[in-house]
Amino acid sequence: FALNEQIDLTNCEREPIHLLGAIQPTGCLIATSDDWRIRRVSANIGAHLGREPDDLLGELLNDVLSHKAMHDIGGRLHLLRGPNAMERLFGVPLQDGGVPYDLAIHMVEDTIVIEAEPSDLEDGLEAGTTVRGMIARLHQAEGFEGLCREAVRQIRGLTGFHRVMLYRFDHDGAGEVIAESAASFLSSFLGLRFPASDIPKQARLLYERNWLRLIGDIKAEPVPLVPQLDSRGKPLDLSISVLRSVSPIHIEYLGNMGVHASMSISVIRKGKLWGLIACHHNEPLRLAFERRTAAELFGQIFSLLLESRERDAELARVAEANKVHNRLMASLGAMRPGTRSLTDFLDMLGEVLPCDGIGLWSAGGTALRGHTPSTEEFAGLVRFLNRTASGSIYSTYNLGEVHAPARDYADRAAGILAIPLSRGPRDYLVFFRREVSRSVTWAGDPNKPMAVGPNGVRLTPRKSFAAWRQTVEGQCQPWTDSDMQMAERVRITLLEVVLQLADMAERERR
Ligand code: BLA
């Protein structure tokens, strides 16, 4: 990648967002070699240390900072283990008699990076007590959804953002707003979906390493580092920086959205980015480093709780499906002579898996319930299955891709899970799901005027939403592992029943 390559909407994934060489103006940055010689500073350093970059570069940091500051910083260095480690100090005067600063210290290879922001003495946060209280309320929240709702409420309380959302990523990197706490003057984003491209891949990878980023004021001029390139011609890697100035493309996006300040906290499950707690403010917002640290800690604990709650919710769903399954077994067992086919049990079968419609194709009768293809279309689908599904369960969330005629009925059935009921002439039980975008509608205010930047309307939430719709056109919500497991159980039960039915029919004939 060439640093001077023009970045636009077509090549966002190539923007080296960790190498942009600038920080936000709420603090300053000093980078030294491992023997404390100053190698780089932010251009605004004079406002903080009273000495300009030219005067500082090449100096020893010991000759610039107070003895106490050096002692405190030095004491943290040995704690920095691993590539993502960062140490924090709060309320440390950098120079004798100077104002206190909050410090973030990390290492990039053999470079020591110190970022300093003036402490907010008014803030008065009791971080420990506050986070404890927040987590106690998380524990009290009921269920998975309750937990998510409580989390956004707590973060809004801690930070004062106008809007706090929990944004969860899908299997394909697209995302959905699954919880929201917002000021009453804002229209809701709850339930909205956005395409993967709104948060490009390199940003996601970065957010797995660095849990929080704040853009306090999108209008603030970034402060360049001096010099941009070191003696080896390399820019400073700002991946772990807390003041990193963010991508101008993203700044434009926020501006188009009418957002003045943005923050996001990573939600990580099993080492992978599961989602973000995304925050918006319609005015610039300053948030002391200690408060951000509390928010980050909260995000980490929320991530852990989420994992177990999600598992609980999944178990509850499976238990529910099992109940239906058992009820089904009982009814089938008690089947009276005269019952000829499974069609009588279709409604009950439809409850075993989340679906929008269900169909049975069998010698004993064909039936359709809910959103499904027509009988004729179903016949075509069964011919397709006979060619494709060699006796085992077949599923797809994009039927139109493999069976062209299905494109005409994606609004009713975009995806299928088909259970074969016999080996010979093929009988099937088929679960149908509608196109996912059918069930999601834009919730933002369509009449609200918005400013649009140089990269055009694509960088607005409404266009994003439209772009998401395009990427999932013709697709349903994918079938999950537990859907597949349940389908397998249903298959085994039904094979048994089909044999019984055949047996019964045989006896009646005699
Ligand atoms: C980053 N994009 C982000 C971030 C979010 C979003 C949350 C993380 C940075 C932050 O905390 O602000 C997207 N924000 C959203 C979405 C919602 C929201 C979807 O509130 C919905 C409610 N962005 C685009 C397009 C491109 C793009 C089309 O929309 C590129 C083609 C780029 N987004 C982009 C980049 C970043 C980003 C480069 C990284 C910013 C950085 O960390 O430097």
Q: Tokens 């994003």 sit at which residue?
A: 464
Q: Provide Rg for the chain, Cα atoms.
A: 29
d(CA 377, CA 43): 68
Counting atoms of ligand 1 from 1, which one is nearest the CA of 15? 38
pLDDT band at 510 (very low <50, low <70, confident <90, very high): confident
Measured at the CA of 339, the angle between CA 353 and CA 365, to 5 degrees, comes to 65
Partners of 101 in beta bridges: 92, 118
d(CA 269, CA 139): 18
The predicted pLDDT at position 450 comes to: 64
Describe the strand order of the beta sheet including 428-433 as a list of residue ranges: 365-370, 357-362, 428-433, 415-420, 394-396
Q: What percent of the chain has pLDDT over 90?
A: 63
Kindly state if the Cβ of 262 falls inside 6 Å of ligand 1: yes
Kindly state if the Cβ of 189 falls inside 6 Å of ligand 1: yes
Homologous superfamily in CATH for domain 12-20+124-311:
GAF domain (3.30.450.40)
Helix (H), strand (E) at residue 295: helix 289-333
Most ligand 1 atoms within 8 A of CB, residue of 11, 198, 207, 245 to mutate: 198
The predicted pLDDT at position 137 comes to: 96
Kindly state if the Cβ of 164 falls inside 6 Å of ligand 1: no
pLDDT tens digits along 398-448:
999 999 999 999 999 999 999 998 766 588 999 999 998 877 777 666 566
pLDDT higher than threshold 70 for residue 478:
yes
Average pLDDT of the segment spanning 98-114: 97
Q: Judge whether 24-118 and 338-435+474-509 match in fold.
A: yes
Options 3.30.70.141, 3.40.50.970, 3.40.50.1980, 3.30.450.20; CATH of 24-118: 3.30.450.20
CATH code given to domain 338-435+474-509? 3.30.450.270
The predicted pLDDT at position 217 comes to: 98
pLDDT tens digits along 210-221:
999 999 999 999
CB distance 417 to 429 below 8 Å = no
Describe the strand order of the beta sheet including 212-215 as a list of residue ranges: 193-194, 175-182, 163-169, 272-281, 261-269, 212-215
Which residue's CA is minimally distant from atom 20 of ligand 1?
A: 278
Region label for 148, one of left (φ > 0), alpha (ψ between -120 and 50) or beta (otherwise): alpha
Kindly state if the Cβ of 246 falls inside 6 Å of ligand 1: yes
| 256 Cα to the center of ligand 1, angstroms | 12
Peptide bond into 337 cis (omega under 30): no
pLDDT tens digits along 163-211:
999 999 998 889 999 999 999 999 889 988 999 989 999 999 999 999 9
Most ligand 1 atoms within 8 A of CB, residue of 250, 267, 452 to mutate: 250
Handedness of CA 438, 443, 446, 450 (dihedral sign): negative
Q: What are phi and psi of 23, to 5 degrees?
A: -120, 170
Which residues, including other chains, have CB under 8 Å from residue 295's CB and lie 6 or more apart? 155, 158, 159, 212, 263, 265, 287
Helix (H, G, I), strand (E, B) or coil at 131: helix
d(CA 254, CA 271): 28
Counting atoms of ligand 1 from 1, which one is nearest the CA of 245? 43
pLDDT band at 340 (very low <50, low <70, confident <90, very high): low
pLDDT tens digits along 220-244:
999 999 999 998 999 999 999 999 9
The predicted pLDDT at position 423 comes to: 66
Which residue's CA is minimally distant from atom 23 of ligand 1?
A: 198
Strands 100-108 and 111-118: antiparallel
What one-letter code names the amino acid at 376?
E
| 165 Cα to the center of ligand 1, angstroms | 14
Q: ipTM strictly over 0.95?
A: yes
- Residues 481, 487, 488, 490: what is their CA dihedral angle, to the nearest 10 degrees? 150
pLDDT tens digits along 46-84:
999 999 999 999 999 999 999 999 999 999 999 999 889
pLDDT band at 342 (very low <50, low <70, confident <90, very high): confident
Size (the chain), residues: 510
Max CA separation in the chain (angstroms) = 106
Average pLDDT of the segment spanning 367-376: 95
Sorted by where each begins, the domain ranges of the chain are: 12-20+124-311, 24-118, 338-435+474-509
Counting atoms of ligand 1 from 1, which one is nearest the CA of 467? 28
Query: Where is average pLDDT lowest: 24-28, 55-59, 108-112, 461-465?
Result: 461-465
d(CA 199, CA 190): 18
Which residue's CA is minimally distant from atom 5 of ligand 1?
A: 199
Most ligand 1 atoms within 8 A of CB, residue of 7, 20, 199 to mutate: 199
Kindly state if the Cβ of 200 falls inside 6 Å of ligand 1: yes
* Higher-pLDDT residue of 501, 372: 372
Kindly state if the Cβ of 464 falls inside 6 Å of ligand 1: yes
- Residues 408, 412, 418, 423: what is their CA dihedral angle, to the nearest 10 degrees? -60
DSSP string, 17-73: TT-S-EE-TTSEEEEE-TT-BEEEEETTHHHHHSS-HHHHTTSBGGGTS-HHHHHHH
Closest CA to 292 of 266, 269, 268: 266
| 191 Cα to the center of ligand 1, angstroms | 18
Mean of the per-residue pLDDT values of the chain = 90
Counting atoms of ligand 1 from 1, which one is nearest the CA of 20? 43
